[in-house]
Amino acid sequence: MEDIQFPIFKTKIKGVSQKFDLTDFNQRKAYFELKAGREINKLREYLKENSFIAYLLGKKNSGKGTYAKMFQEVVDKARVEHFSIGDMVRKLDEVVRNKKRRKELISFLEKNYRGYSSLRDIISALEKRSTKTLLSSELILALVKMEIAKKSKKALFIDGFPRDLDQISYSLFFRDLVGYRDDPDIFVLIDVPKAVIDERMKCRRVCPLCQTSRNLKVLATKKVEYDQREKKFHLICDNSECRGTRMVSKEGDEFGIEPIKERLEIDEQLIKKAFSLYGIPKILLRNAIPVKKAKEFLDDYEITPEYSYQWSEKERKVKIIEKPWQILDDQRIPSYSLLAPPVVVSLIKQMVKVLGL
């Protein structure tokens, strides 16, 4: 993003050569203890008596939920929550079909909703809701208030709000609305090259039975099959609770970012507008690092691996070839894409600074 300088964050520790498998839970735990143990302890102490609201702003499919959930996993599952506006809205489909819950929703909105659409129109819109139709900002705020009121007070990562430029202003009063009046609010701005999002979408694979998601290019399963008739490689679902089914691509994924270019442009404008606001601290996260600077700033195992495949006719098996995933960032600079843990190390350390711990 040319107008904002996202700093390169250093996770490499001089003199430490220990390596970690960041896909393994226990090794990931040891990794975070080494790279950010002191900061994690400070956050845990802070969260015993305090909380915060952090707004995740990044392009679609930039990993917002992944980073927030990993922060929660590492710091304090009981005191941190990832709150997805999209998930909340999708659950409304069930609410409006349930007579009792629908009545409760209408009763809440009668007391708390202030906006330009009548409740009758709102319920009708929810019943006919399309993923292309955005709900009004006023309604979203009322619904968020309703959902947060059901929970015990926790530090919140808000994912999906603000979603449009007019909602930036609403977000400035969000913490007062949901009863977090004295808690800090923070914008977490995420920079992910479009090339990364494009490849993630084109190579995404989903199990048709359990809906587990993987990626042919950057998140392979343990077993890969080669279809000689199709001359294609296929990931086989390795979810222990599934039946080892061949994973498939979602309809439209083959087009990558092409269908969502307009959405990505809006997301970029949102990030720039949020960055320009005074009075609210910002955390800047970047998913990629120039190849020339990689050795100085991070360890090899923190780079996203790229997988390619070869069929060995002689051995009758698939050979998996792994190398660092190199892309061109939005400025056309050769860069490595990062795994989630080093980005979360950056999030943890910057969070400690903005909270003044």
- Residue type at 242 in one-letter notation: C
pLDDT in tens, 106-119: 888 888 888 888 88
Phi, psi of 243, deg, nearest 5 = -105, 15
The C-alpha atoms of residue 86 and residue 65 are separated, in whole angstroms, by: 11
Average pLDDT across the chain, whole number:
89
The model carries a pTM of: 0.89
Burial of 168 (0-12, 13-18, 19+ CB in 10 A): buried
Flag whether pLDDT at 6 surpasses 70: yes
4 vs 285, higher pLDDT: 285
Percent of the chain with pLDDT over 70: 97
List, as own/partner pairs, every contact residues 83-87 make where C-beta atoms lie below 8 angstroms and the sequence separation is at least 24, other chains included.
83/144, 83/147, 83/148, 83/156, 83/157, 83/158, 83/159, 84/159, 84/160, 85/140, 85/144, 85/158, 85/159, 85/160, 85/161, 85/163, 86/159, 86/160
What digits encode the pLDDT tens for the residues 345-356?
999 999 999 999
Using the predicted structure, report yes or no on whether residue 29 has a pLDDT greater than 80: yes
Candidates 189, 160, 166; CA nearest to 88 is: 160
First to last CA, the chain: 29
**CA–CA distances in Å: residue 302 to residues 63, 153, 262, 335:** 16, 34, 31, 13
Residue 80: band (very low, low, confident or very high) from pLDDT cuts 50, 70, 90 = very high
Confidence of residue 92 (pLDDT cuts 50, 70, 90): confident
- For residue 310, report the phi and psi dihedrals to the nearest 5 degrees: -130, 140
- How sure is the predictor about 225, in pLDDT bands with cuts at 50, 70 and 90? very high
- Residues 334-338, mean pLDDT to the nearest whole number: 97
For the chain, what percentages of helix, strand and coil (3-state, to nearest 5) are there?
40, 20, 35
- The structure tokens listed for 303 are 């780079």
Question: Does the structure show a pLDDT above 60 at 184?
Answer: yes
Q: Which of 147-156, 166-175, 253-262, 302-311 has the lowest mean pLDDT?
A: 166-175
Q: How many angstroms separate the Cα of 285 from the Cα of each of 68, 76, 193, 314?
A: 12, 21, 12, 46
Helix (H, G, I), strand (E, B) or coil at 317: strand
Which domains can be identified in the chain, with CATH numbers?
25-79+154-354 (3.40.50)
Core vs surface per residue 208-244: b (16+ CB within 10 A) or e: eeeebebbbbbbbbeebebeeeeeebbbbbeeeeeee
